[in-house]
Structure 1
Amino acid sequence: MKSASLSRPLTHTRAVARLASGAALLCAALLAHAGVRVPAPDPLQGDGRVSAFYTWDADVPASPGVLLRSEPLPATLGLANASRQLRILYSSTDGVGGSTPIAVSGALFIPQGTAPQGGWPIVAWAHGTFGMADICAPSWFGRSWRDVRYLNAWLKAGFAVVATDYQGLGTPGPNPQLNNRSNSYTLLDSVRAALRGVPGLANEVVLVGQSQGGSAVIAAAGYAPRYAPDLNVRATVATGIIYNAPHATLASLAPFKTRFRRDPERVDPTLAYEFYSVLSAQQIDPTLKPEDVLTDAARPLLEQSRISCLASLESDAELAGLTRANTLKPGAQARLQKWWDAYLAYPTLKLNMPVFVGVGADDGLAPAELALAKDACAAGTTVEAHLYEGLEHNGTVNASLNDSLPFVRRVLAGESIAPVCEPHEQAPRAVVGQDDGAH
């Protein structure tokens, strides 16, 4: 009798617990689908010094790819071959945590002339590293002459260009820099927002990126089927790709001519990237102290990197006489490698669309880029790779147009792509008909 009398309260307690648990799960589900507010600005992450356009004061919609607002992009920040150009703000998903709604900025450029039936096909442009402060967002800061010429060529070829700024650039919150999932989500959602909010565009999408953006588009091509299945991603074009290549693949590559040489005693302006790496690593590991990885001579530039865009920081690194030997402490690369490996991970190299890979033989990243082409081929992706003699990281972008534009046209026309997994060096050619890219 004693145990029977106790069974009722115990059963009741379990029932209440189940109800409470169910209510908690329901609340969690509702919260997961409810909009959230943007984070408070953090000057240590470079937030601020942009217009009010970049801060969304209401809840961010839980649905990614919603166009929140737009405004005309100033002519000085525009592209000469655009008939219309907008600064855009749209909803996306935090790619670091993988679930929280965020607001992201970017730009949209519409070609001149009459749109083809069904609308303009879209180039989703993933830019290279500009810096980590809000003012470095290309929709606010502007674009390099290299990128202006490149994007003008795509506009001239009849493609609208949607250009994300990435998470936390322009908008409040940290920029996770080389986080491939973050850059992929914001890139794909920029296209969704443009398609939903701006008439005259076709759901015929080509992912195009350079350097950090080259890595982003390879990742985005892998994330798209499950994160953005509504997008019709037809092709991917990547140059200057960042890839953690397996040693076995690197060892299997055929030798090629290159003028690239790494001298640890040479003054190197590209050490600017190392300071952004430290800021990114601290986002993951707040216990990381600058003195753990940077020398006394280099540490002042870490504070500068919070507010400076890349070109300025590279100039400062050169003026400070920084070399790889006098910037990084022994063991620094191993300490930073933890965030590097996690952020640069690809969801898959088996992609369901053809991929163009452009590699400059004089680019220090060339071995890794060639390794990616080989590994993607081995995974079952159709890759057309090109290796350009005498070109470095930046020079490959525009020179590759002679091959990447015809590649994209063939894909959109439904033609098959002959795989080129291990390219031979070819001499670059001047891009026929490319204008000077003036604004």
Structure 2
Amino acid sequence: MKARTLIASAAALAIAPALAVVTAPAAQAAPAACTASEADVFAAPGSVSGGPGELLACRNVTLTQVPGNIPMRAVQVRYVSTDLNGKKVPVTGTVAVPTARWTGQGSRPTVAFNPGTLGIGRQCAFSKQLAGAYQDEYEGEQVAAFLKAGFAVAATDGMGYIEGLTHPYMIGANAGHSLLDIARASRQVPGGTLTADGKIAISGYSEGGAASLWASQLAASYAPELKVVGAAAGGVPGDLKLTAKQLNGGAFAGFLADAVVGLHEAYPTLPFDELVNDNGRSAVADTKKYCLYGTLARFLGARVESFTTKGYSLDQLYALKDANGLSWGDAVEQQKLGVNIGRPGSGAKYQIGFPTYQYRGYFEEIIPHETEEETRRLYCKAGITTQFNNSYPGEHLLTDSIAINDVTSWIGDRFAGKFTFGNCPLF
């Protein structure tokens, strides 16, 4: 779907179904069978026990939005992860495993997958959409490609799609932890066939691309037992300040609205309620109701200045601090990719011992080219083997589809143990 089609569809669609309130579950042991209800999977947090990646609940589902009638077993899962402050939180997602026998090397490998932006309304959860509660999901073909290649897929919804919470959109540590932990949880599905020695690849586009690289940066310290062999990341908003500047007042300002609400969710001490006017309060409520098209329609051409009491610009908002001296600008900078990264043994905070595949469309119109190129440059400078492709003949959304075969092939090569030099500049 091309950008102009996306905008036209956004202007016509604003879907916001109500969600029933469910009682928070008590802390529980790992399930012996996938007999949970949908309400159990998406229930309020309650008391969360268990370590990161521990499976809390699961239910068997049919993935109606994955094309190709691929024989598989699919389960909706609820599992333990940790947020950027180290707090245990339940996260939801989908684990799908082809029923055809794996014929590659070793045990069947798994792709830990994060979808692109779907909106932060709770009904927008990727696992709900894949299973037929369709809003405007567009990643079913990528999931299908992985499954057809014989790979298992562990697709996270990301944090906050459960009762009483809000998705912390574009928060790096939260996204990275959620991806790594669903890879862990995928091995615990009752009656499942995935084993601890199976290789893991990480993949995602747009919001999912940022999540993929954050999972890459966190893997060695957060989930060292996982055998991660590569990460594919497309359309990556590596620098949120550059991205916000381009989004503000434009056709895709809805992404900025989601990001502001996501930052508020993750950093609740930052000044917020006292900054927003009536228009801003309405906007916050609307971001929590809509999926992708509805959000883009609601905020078409919107500027952040119109939602604040004093008409604050982005730069003015970045300067505002909480009682401990943390500013909005600090919080945004903490999400920047490629900072303090290095190879194993480098002493860097984030050590990456596997290659990455980074890509964008030639006609990219949502994410600034500068930040996508800069993320690649930072990875190359740090000595991370990186393959970069900026020549796909599409804009933002279409490129996600155009690149499916290349992404699947590149990941297949990593699972097969093939070596890659990448294409980092030699100077």
**TM class by shorter-chain length?**
0.7 to 0.9
What is the SS of the residue equivalent to 1:353?
A: coil
* Structure 2 counterparts to residues 36-75 of structure 1, below 5 A: 51-55=39-43, 59-75=47-63
Provide the residue aligned with 2:205 in structure 1.
210
Counterpart of 2:379 (choices 376, 392, 409) is 376
Report the AA paired with residue 49 of structure 2. P
Larger CA Rg, structure 1 vs 2: 1
Provide the residue aligned with 2:153 in structure 1.
161
Report the AA paired with residue 102 of structure 2. A
Q: CA deviation at 1:308?
A: 1.5
Provide the residue aligned with 2:322 in structure 1.
none
* Structure 2 counterparts to residues 35-434 of structure 1, below 5 A: 51-55=39-43, 59-78=47-66, 80-93=69-82, 95-98=83-86, 100-116=87-103, 118-142=106-130, 144=136, 146-170=138-162, 172-197=164-189, 199-202=192-195, 203-244=198-239, 268-283=250-265, 284-286=267-269, 288-289=271-272, 292=275, 300-318=282-300, 322=302, 329-336=311-318, 337-344=329-336, 348-350=340-342, 351-364=352-365, 365=367, 366-421=369-424
Report the AA paired with residue 400 of structure 2. V
CA 1:287–1:223: 2 relative to 1, 3 Å = closer
Report the AA paired with residue 380 of structure 2. C
Mapped partners of 2:248, 2:184: distance in 1? 45
Q: CA deviation at 1:324?
A: 7.3
Report the structure, 1 or 2, having the larger helix content. 1
Report the AA paired with residue 342 of structure 1. Q
Count of aligned positions: 358
Mapped partners of 2:88, 2:269: distance in 1? 23
Q: CA deviation at 1:339?
A: 2.7
Mapped partners of 2:138, 2:314: distance in 1? 32
Q: CA deviation at 1:130?
A: 1.9
**More displaced, 350-359 or 282-291?**
282-291
Identity between Structure 1 and Structure 2 (%): 23
Mapped partners of 2:210, 2:58: distance in 1? 28
Mapped partners of 2:152, 2:180: distance in 1? 15
Report the AA paired with residue 143 of structure 2. L
CA 1:75–1:371: 2 relative to 1, 3 Å = closer
What is the SS of the residue equivalent to 1:223?
A: helix
Q: CA deviation at 1:334?
A: 4.5
CA 1:322–1:223: 2 relative to 1, 3 Å = closer
CA contact (8 A) 1:278 1:290 kept: no
> Gapped runs of 5+ residues in structure 2?
1-24, 28-37, 319-328, 343-351
Alpha-carbon RMSD = 3.2
> Gapped runs of 5+ residues in structure 1?
1-35, 39-49, 248-260, 424-439
Residue deviations 1:120-149 (CA, integer Å, cap 9, x gap): 211100122222232221112347553111
Mapped partners of 1:289, 1:60: distance in 2? 28
